[in-house]
Amino acid sequence: MTKRKLGQTGFSIMPIVFGGNVFGWTIDEKESFDVLDAFVDYGFDAIDTADVYSSWAPGNKGGESETIIGNWLKSRPGVRDKVKIFTKVGSDLGVPGKKGLSEKWITQAVDESLSRLGIEQIDLYFSHWPDPETPYEETLGTYDKLLKAGKIKAIGASNLDAKQLSDALEAARSHNLPRYQVLQPEYNLYDRSSFDGALRNLCIAENIGVVTYYSLASGFLSGKYRSESDLQQSKRGEGIGKYLNPRGKKILDALDIAAECHDATDAEIALAWLIAREGITAPIASATKRSHVESFAKAVEIELTDEDLKALDTASAP
């Protein structure tokens, strides 16, 4: 595996990032430790989470994922030096005042995240969602203070469209503030329209790193969900039904063919397609067992042919 520069953050990462939304939701702390150990053992080095993970699970309130990662780091002396930690601020935590990108909330939220993670510095801190009520210069000005205080090392944004990202970059330029160095969009073989085009072109032109979420379309691109009855296989099944249509089937058929050619799984091909895509630094992918992490390692070694890429692009064209 070869590391890739992550935009202008100043650091490089392996080409798959671990998605920490499963911690405290579909896997408990012990299982989380096991897959994180495997992730590092295979040479991967970046973990993505958020302060809101995993508030949607019954009995949770947010912060569970960060807490599990923090406990793992604490129990594994030396591992902190091997991994980059990404987390996010801005999602609604269901408590008055605990949402958005105001200076007041970010200043409080970053300390809460640092405490749960048990670290002194967050490697990459994301604005989770656009906040139309807060000017970019206020948010970026707050990040400037956190960067200078050493609480964060780099900043990124998630879920911005091309105009929003362009406006944020312009605000940084005009106010002499740090700019977003990484974008985290929803992007995969099925969900392409919001990133392909103007947003992707902007990221390439501005040398912005891109780490994609829902890289396997909530598991649909693994190929194990092909009918309504298959949706009962996991807790994520209810969100996958929207992919069961003719276009989704065409994508799975193309993945099946490429997977057979490369002696791989559909999920490995779907990740390999993202890794090969111009403008993408690394897909974010979740794992609930060691075999999934082994699959990540296989995915980064796959070299898709021009024919493979053309077939996948044709099948997934919106």
Q: So which residues are the catalytic ones?
A: 53
Residue type, 102: S
Cα–Cα nearest to 250, from 305, 296, 312: 312
Q: Quick check: 223 and 266 in contact, CB under 8 A? A: yes
Cα–Cα nearest to 133, from 154, 166, 104: 104
Largest CA distance in the chain: 55
CA distance 291 to 162: 37
Strands 12-13 and 4-5: antiparallel
CA angle (67, 70, 73) in 5-degree steps: 155
CA angle (112, 117, 119) in 5-degree steps: 100
User: Which long-range contacts (C-beta less than 8 Å, at least 24 apart) are formed by 220-225?
Assistant: 220/190, 220/248, 221/188, 221/189, 221/190, 221/251, 221/252, 221/255, 221/266, 221/267, 221/270, 222/265, 222/266, 222/267, 222/270, 223/252, 223/255, 223/256, 223/259, 223/265, 223/266, 223/267
Residue type, 251: I
Category of 86 on φ-ψ map: left (φ > 0), alpha (ψ -120 to 50) or beta:
beta
CA angle (37, 214, 101) in 5-degree steps: 95
